[in-house]
Every structure is written in structure tokens, then in C-alpha cells.
A and B are shown apart, each in its own frame.
Chain A
Amino acid sequence: MTEPHGVWVYAVGDDIATGRIEHLTGVGGGAVRGISAYGLTAVAGDVPLAEFGESALRRNLEDLAWLEATARAHHHVIDALGQRASLVPMRLATVYASDDGVAAMLDERAADFRAALSRISSRQEWGVKAYAAQPPERGGLAASAPARSSGAAARPGAAYLQRRRDELSSRSQARSDLLASAETIHARLSGLAAEVRLHAPQAPQLTGVRAQMILNAAYLVDDERSGEFADAVAALAREHPAARLELTGPWPPYSFAGTPERSPPCE
């Protein structure tokens, strides 16, 4: 590439077949290659600075369509290679001025990468989200709530208020039962995982799902236990009919890659 370019880093591994790398298309439609140094390989690609330089990147990251395409391309490279090799995924938009910068990064952070690689080796990330199976009854009176006392007929106003209080309290009970289910589900699945991360629930507007999300977690599971894990999710779904469970995966281990950034804060 003759125009000014930087080097985008997708992930770091220690045992990647470079033959597989070269068939992939990465962000910005660019080619993907490996940069090896210090026993590690960074999966990387050249990116034009006109689109991926500092100010261009800031501008483009605000463009949702560009962000979606770039995020999917970044993930695709990591996912495709991660099927066969242990990879530590980089966060989106890790860009160096040159290969030398990437090699220097591998040198400086070699211990962190090796520790992460040994933690994730022969394991995969599975995502489990749980939602309320249906929203609570809205409006109206709980049809099955009996009149509280024999004097109800003579005091219809008080009986009405009592039924309203019963309705609100049964909704609140349903809600705490649901949260208890989420805790039980998470505890059971955590027992099958080497590591666990709890994430914030996603907003309903983001998921497009009306019901409330009561659990959003990532589980790092040994490859040979993935069947057992999926079976446990199915069993928990049967045991907790008030919750709707969604299993995604296997994912590259995004949730388990991280170490705190050691360089000084940017701004």
C-alpha cells in the first residue's frame, strides 16, 4: 500500500498457522497477516490512515454504520482464527504506526499475553442472557384475588384498594422470584466454568426485547465440558420457566482477555 498506513491489531496468539491468516479479509476490506516477535504472533493488517488515522478514526467511530462494519470485520478475523488457535482478542481500534511498534508491544506485554493465553487455553467463552419470560400483568385487577373480608360488599372502595395492593405486591413478589432465579442460574453455571464475568444487562432498546434482562454473563468453559454446559443451560431453562434463557457462543475469550491498561491514562 503506497498511501500512508498504520497497523491494526486484531489479536495475539502463540501458535497460529500463518496459512490460515492470509485467506482472511479484515477491517476496511484489507488483508490480514502475522507479525511475529518474542515467541508471540500478532494478527494484524495494514489500514489506510485516511480512514484509520487518529482524527479519521474519531470521526468514523461516531458513524454507526462504519462502526458496525468495522466491529463485525474485527470480530470475524478473531473468530475465524480462534476456532483453531488460542487467541487473546484486542479491543477494537488498537492501531500502531508500524510493524516495529507492534513488535515492541509484544515485547513489553509478553508476560501478560502468556498469562492470558494459558488461562484461556483449551477453553471457550459462552454467553448466557436471561430475560423475564413475559412482562407482568398490566392494568386491571388480578382476577384470582379473593375479597379480603366478608364486609367487602359493604365497603367496595376499600376492597378495590386492597385488590390493587395485592396486585402490586404479587408483581413485586414475581420480580424477586425472578431475580432469585437469575442468581440460581448464575451459580449453577459458574460451577461448570473456569472463570466467570458478570456484565451489565443490555438495555431493552439495544436488544429489541421488551422483557427485562435479569442476567448477562460470560463463562469460560473447558472445551470438553461445552456439551455439559449447554445441557445445564437447557435444564435450568426447564427448572425456571419464569425466565427465558439465551445461549450464545462459542465466542473468542473477549471477556477473559483483559488486564488493566498499564500505560498512563490518555486524556
Chain B
Amino acid sequence: MTSGNVVQRGSGAAQGYGSGLGGGREPANLGDILERVLDKGIVIAGDIRVNLLDIELLTIKLRLVIASLDTAREVGINWWESDPWLSGDAARTANGRELEEENRRLRDRIAALESGR
């Protein structure tokens, strides 16, 4: 059920919070599940020692990126490569560089126009 700009999804089990989800509940998002089962939950070392930090969420994200990017590129989708909003700090720097470059070109142009008079 969506109401305005809120979307509600259940966590995946049979019984849910009844605010109109009805019969068909979407399965929980894998990212939400992985975030919880890998990173939260009570942590006690069992007899079998495996260091989950070796496959910490960042690595998972990178693999999901690789898996999803390859698929997306195949169909010509690659907007994230040039989207300044996604690029964060890198983009703010890029915007700064763009602005400097524009300034330089405009100053050169103005100088050329003024010297031409």
C-alpha cells in the first residue's frame, strides 16, 4: 500500500501489520535482510570460526554493484557514471572545476572582446 510518499513493505513472514497490505506481501528487500543478518543480531563465536568481516557489507555491495552494473550496461543503462548527485564529493569537486573552467573561458572571451574594440 502506498499513501502519498510512504511505501510500506513487510519483513516477509505470513502475518503482517494490517494497514492495507492485503494478501500479496512483497518479499523483503535483500539489502535489508543482509544488513540485519550479517551486521546485527547477537554475536557469539561458535565452534566454527568464520570472520564475517571478510565478507562485510561493503564487499557485498560491491559484488551487487558488479552483478547489477553488468546487467544494466548490457541494456544501455549507465546513468550512475555521470550523475553528480550519486557521485557525492567527487561531483561537488567536478562542479567546482566546471565553474572554474567556465570562468576562465568567459574571462578570455571578455578580454578578447574588450581588446577588439
Inter-chain contact B67/A80, CB cutoff 8 Å: no
Q: Is B73 an interface residue (CB 8 A)?
A: no
CB neighbors of B among A240-261 (8 A) = 241, 243-252, 254-255, 257-261
**A interface SS class:** mixed
Inter-chain contact A238/B4, CB cutoff 8 Å: yes
Inter-chain contact A246/B64, CB cutoff 8 Å: no
Q: Is B115 an interface residue (CB 8 A)?
A: no
Q: Is A61 an interface residue (CB 8 A)?
A: yes
Knowing A205-B68, A205-B80, A251-B36, the reply to whether A88 touches B42 (Cβ < 8 A) is yes
CB neighbors of B among A37-88 (8 A) = 52-54, 57-58, 61-62, 64, 67-68, 71-72, 74-76, 79-80, 82-83, 88
Knowing A53-B48, A54-B49, A157-B109, the reply to whether A71 touches B37 (Cβ < 8 A) is yes
Complex interface bits, B30-44 against A, C-beta within 8 A gives 1, otherwise 0: 111111111111111
- Least distance between B79 CB and chain A CB atoms (Å): 7
Inter-chain contact B6/A80, CB cutoff 8 Å: no
A82 to chain B: which residues have CB within 8 Å?
A: 13
Query: Looking across the interface, which residue of chain B has its beta carbon closest to that of A124?
Result: B17
Q: Is B54 an interface residue (CB 8 A)?
A: yes
Number of contact residues on B: which range applies?
35 or more
Inter-chain contact B9/A58, CB cutoff 8 Å: no
- Least distance between A95 CB and chain B CB atoms (Å): 4
B5 to chain A: which residues have CB within 8 Å?
A: 133, 237-238, 241, 243-245
Within 8 Å by CB of A257, from B41, B61, B79, B99, lies B41
Inter-chain contact A226/B13, CB cutoff 8 Å: no
Inter-chain contact B83/A75, CB cutoff 8 Å: no
Knowing A83-B13, A83-B15, A250-B17, the reply to whether A91 touches B37 (Cβ < 8 A) is yes
Inter-chain contact B48/A96, CB cutoff 8 Å: yes
Inter-chain contact A245/B38, CB cutoff 8 Å: no
Which of A28-36, A145-153, A186-194, A196-204 faces chain B? A196-204
Inter-chain contact A74/B50, CB cutoff 8 Å: no
Provide the bound-state CA to CA distance between A174 and B105, in Å: 29
Provide the bound-state CA to CA distance between A101 and B48, in Å: 11
Complex interface bits, B91-117 against A, C-beta within 8 A gives 1, otherwise 0: 000010001001100110110000000
- Least distance between A59 CB and chain B CB atoms (Å): 10
Knowing A248-B28, A248-B29, the reply to whether A64 touches B49 (Cβ < 8 A) is no
Inter-chain contact A89/B48, CB cutoff 8 Å: no
Provide the bound-state CA to CA distance between A137 and B103, in Å: 21
A168 to chain B: which residues have CB within 8 Å?
A: 95, 99
A199 to chain B: which residues have CB within 8 Å?
A: 35
- Least distance between B98 CB and chain A CB atoms (Å): 9
Inter-chain contact B60/A157, CB cutoff 8 Å: no
- Least distance between B115 CB and chain A CB atoms (Å): 15
Inter-chain contact A91/B10, CB cutoff 8 Å: no
Query: Looking across the interface, which residue of chain B has its beta carbon closest to that of A112?
Result: B42
- Least distance between A50 CB and chain B CB atoms (Å): 13
A17 to chain B: which residues have CB within 8 Å?
A: none
29 A–B contacts, CB within 8 A, in A order: A6-B47, A54-B48, A61-B55, A71-B34, A72-B12, A80-B13, A82-B13, A91-B39, A92-B38, A132-B85, A133-B5, A135-B83, A138-B84, A165-B99, A168-B95, A199-B35, A226-B17, A227-B19, A230-B8, A230-B17, A234-B6, A237-B4, A246-B7, A250-B11, A259-B42, A259-B43, A261-B44, A266-B49, A266-B51
Closest 5 pairs (CB-CB, A-B): A254-B40, A91-B41, A254-B36, A79-B13, A95-B48
